[in-house]
Amino acid sequence: MRGCPRPIVCAGMSCQQAANDFTERDILPPHPGPYLQNIPIGKFPANPLSPPSVVLGLDPRTHSQALCPHHATAKGNLMSRIFITGSTDGLGLAAARTLMRQGHGVVLHARSRERASALAEISPTALGLVIGDLASAAETRSIAEQVNAIGRMDAVIHNAGIYLERSRGETPDGHAKTLAVNVLAPYLLTAWITRPDRLIYLSSGMHRSGGSTLDDIDWKRRPWNASQAYSESKLYIATLAAAIARHWPDVLSNAVDPGWVPTKMGGAGAPDDLEMGHLTQTWLAASDAEAAKVRGGYWYHRQRREAAEEVTDTGFQDALVEKLAELTGARLFAGRG
């Protein structure tokens, strides 16, 4: 957590107090960071953000007031900034709603402007909304740039994923779509987004069916098998989380199995608990409980579980990270080991 750079304005005031007491001199020098929701001077929403307390700043470029990106509780304590990929529906949206109710500043993500319309109810009270298709490396870079423009995140939840694709597909970069969205995109975002304190990657119990060979992870030679491709992608993402925990000891990196939950991906008949399906990642992203401040774990419903042996195999970790660097052209770690 960071100290508030605006003690004169912030000072734990509520939104309306800040609005009532606001004068231009309060915001000089110009408030750092982006201005996410411009509001004409004198036009204050009755409750612009709830429940977190925020303050109003003046955008020196447009001379319009805007919601301050530094969230605070009523006691004046800063809450976490958390970016969630794939937050237009399912577990991502549920996680976003939960964290926002807790007072955290959430940056939402939608694949397109059309998909962003699904967030119309909550986006006005979010810290930000970024748009881009994770199947494209160029758009993934744009997502990272949009997030970095908002400011350093305290946590990133890599929630976005696709399930049973009918065919290998062909992304703009020539990769299998399942691999691109489920593995390459979170790898690239990890490399390009300013390093947060916590990283959470969504895996699946199906990762145990993933193969340990990395010879053809992009499905260029093998006959397409949607279920196997998904299982492998979830093995790779759990392994990536463990590798990051080993290479970056200052980052709390963990993988989560949300269970087979009744989302659009899981289907209406899925037997697991939707509520518990997203509460583990929100807990790992924001909780101050000592049990949540760990790294290198594989979690299911707030309980650590044993992952497939490949996940904790340092040789497999290094081989996977090297393969991902070859496929993307981006190197996550300075060296192997």
Catalytic residue numbers? 230, 234
Contacts of 309 (CB under 8 A, 6+ apart): none
Cβ–Cβ < 8 Å for 193, 144: yes
Structure tokens at 65: 């007031």
Q: What is the largest distance, in Å, between two alpha-carbon atoms of the chain?
A: 66
CA distance linking residue 325 with residue 271, whole number of Å: 37
User: Could you give the strand order of the β-sheet that contains 298-300, starting from the edge strand earlier in sequence?
Assistant: 128-131, 105-110, 81-84, 155-158, 198-202, 252-256, 298-300, 303-304
158 close to 201: Cβ distance less than 8 angstroms: yes
CB-CB contact of 158 with 206 (8 Å): no
- Give me the count of residues in the chain: 337
CA atoms within 13 A on the CB side of 14: 8
Long-range contacts for 247-250 (Cβ within 8 Å, ≥24 apart)? 247/332, 247/333, 248/195, 249/295, 250/197
Torsion sign across C-alpha atoms 203, 209, 212, 216: negative
Residue 337 vs residues 207, 230, 241, 297, 321: alpha-carbon distances, Å = 24, 27, 15, 19, 11
DSSP assignment of 119-147, as one string?
GTTTGGGSSEEEE--TT-HHHHHHHHHHH
DSSP 198: E
